[in-house]
């Protein structure tokens, strides 16, 4: 009988329009490698690979076809750990959702509700807000990665209002001058509300002028990366409000491979390009604002954002040591200030390396992103290859062996 403490599992790819096409997508590559019955359609975008128990895309056990959620429900204390099951009141689901994202085009500018707001939104509009849970999330770059995250410092937004006529004209002299005279969280909310409630006619008119300004007078912009970014995103979403609320008002963040950022609930953000590991509380709630043809909820977004203006470096989640990992591998723990998840990165730099991970008092999902090796729980040894996904039961000690010198694994877990 196969081990029930270490199982190879199969997640589900999602074909959102912003994903990379066909086999150029890491999501498509991983989905096919882990389940060869998944055929890659070169004309389709492969955007996300979901790994978890969310009912929208349930993960299944490779050798049986059983849903991971059904296995957990057979013995929650065994498959979640008693503390995790009790803390989060769970009977058949993981407290987190783990994903791979392959981003070709900008995602919608969005925020995710906190727990209190999520309950209100689901009760009022379950079609657009299907979950009653919050959705803080963390992104770890597995290639160079570009994103918007949080509002720019107030003085940078003030500079944009002073230097860029189209920005002032879109919001009107009164709102613009009020912010310039007194940059604050309160005036930022008024400014953002004015931008987001602009008429379609004004958005089209001033977006065209903004793009032209970025070509003719790039020196007016506070960051030399902004003019080409405005032009690039306008090619993807012509004359979109996101050119103002994203490019001119949100931090432009670039992460190198291995860097991470953590996004609290009710913080505006948008991913622009690159491949990432993403982990979040188990929810699919999104409050959208720009760069999207989907449902936008401007009133909710404006009223519930935190309007914090931390700089980019403060958005980053630095890695910490992981003392429970030993051997010939580098362990880096990304441990955000929430209870639902942490993510461990394990990297080998030599073939024939060996590393041990002591048991974690909660459930884990792990995925190999690079190289080859094996993973064992002492009972069973499974091949490890790029795209392979595993469920690891609570308190299971695991051993990793590298076959290649670039063997890399990410492990999401919850420990109460």
Angle at which helices 226-236 and 200-216 pack, to 10 degrees?
140
Give the β-pairing of 45-46 and 20-21. antiparallel
Would you call 288 a catalytic residue per the annotation? yes
Q: Binding site annotation covers 54?
A: no
Rounded CA-CA distance 396/81 in Å is 11
Handedness of CA 62, 85, 411, 109 (dihedral sign): positive
CA atoms within 13 A on the CB side of 25: 31
Q: Binding site annotation covers 137?
A: yes
Q: Binding site annotation covers 32?
A: no
Find the catalytic residue in 8, 213, 288, 411.
288
Residue 360 DSSP code: -
Q: Residue 37, class by beta-carbon neighbours within 10 Å (0-12 exposed, 13-18 middle, 19+ buried)?
A: exposed
Cβ count within 10 A of residue 115:
13
Q: Binding site annotation covers 110?
A: yes
Residue 153 DSSP code: P
Closest by CA to 279, choosing from 203, 336, 211, is 336
Q: Are 109 and 250 in contact (CB under 8 A)?
A: yes
Q: Residue 174, class by beta-carbon neighbours within 10 Å (0-12 exposed, 13-18 middle, 19+ buried)?
A: exposed
Catalogue the active-site residues. 288
Residues annotated as binding site for Zn(2+)? 110, 112, 137, 269
Residues annotated as binding site? 110, 112, 137, 269
């Amino acid at each position: 009988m196969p081990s029930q403490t270490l199982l190879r599992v199969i997640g589900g790819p999602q074909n959102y329009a912003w994903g990379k096409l066909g086999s150029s997508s890491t999501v498509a590559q991983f989905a096919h490698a882990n389940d060869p019955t998944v055929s890659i359609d070169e004309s389709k975008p492969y955007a996300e690979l979901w790994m978890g128990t969310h009912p929208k895309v349930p993960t299944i056990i490779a050798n049986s076809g059983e849903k991971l959620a059904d296995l957990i429900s057979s013995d929650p204390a065994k498959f979640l750990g008693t503390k995790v099951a009790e803390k989060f009141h769970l009977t058949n689901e993981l407290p987190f959702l783990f994903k791979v994202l392959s981003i070709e085009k900008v995602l919608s500018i969005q925020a995710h509700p906190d727990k209190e707001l999520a309950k209100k939104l689901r009760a009022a509009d379950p079609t657009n807000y299907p979950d009653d849970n919050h959705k803080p999330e963390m992104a770890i770059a597995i290639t160079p990665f570009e994103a918007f995250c949080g509002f720019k410092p107030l003085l940078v937004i003030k500079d944009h209002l002073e230097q860029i006529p189209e920005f002032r004209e879109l919001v009107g002299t009164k709102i613009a001058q009020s912010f310039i005279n007194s940059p604050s969280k309160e005036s930022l909310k008024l400014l953002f509300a004015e931008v987001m409630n602009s008429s379609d006619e004004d958005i089209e008119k001033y977006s065209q002028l903004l793009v032209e300004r970025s070509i003719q007078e790039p020196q007016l912009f506070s960051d030399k990366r902004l003019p080409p970014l405005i032009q690039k995103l306008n090619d993807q979403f012509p004359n979109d409000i996101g050119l103002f609320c994203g490019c001119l008002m949100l931090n432009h963040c670039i992460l190198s491979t291995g860097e991470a950022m953590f996004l609290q609930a009710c913080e505006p953000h948008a991913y622009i390009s690159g491949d990432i590991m993403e982990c979040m509380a188990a929810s699919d709630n999104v409050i959208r604002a720009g760069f999207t043809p989907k449902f936008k909820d401007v009133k909710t977004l404006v009223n519930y954002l935190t309007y914090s203006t931390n700089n980019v470096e403060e958005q980053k989640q630095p890695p910490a040591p992981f003392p429970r990992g030993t051997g010939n591998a580098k362990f880096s723990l990304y441990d955000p200030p929430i209870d639902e998840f942490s993510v461990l990165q394990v990297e080998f730099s030599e073939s024939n390396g060996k590393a041990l991970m002591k048991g974690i008092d909660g459930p884990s999902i792990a995925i190999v992103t690079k190289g080859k090796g094996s993973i064992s729980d002492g009972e069973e040894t499974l091949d490890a290859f790029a795209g392979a996904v595993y469920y690891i039961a609570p308190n299971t000690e695991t051993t990793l062996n590298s076959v290649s010198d670039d063997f890399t694994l990410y492990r999401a877990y919850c420990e109460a």
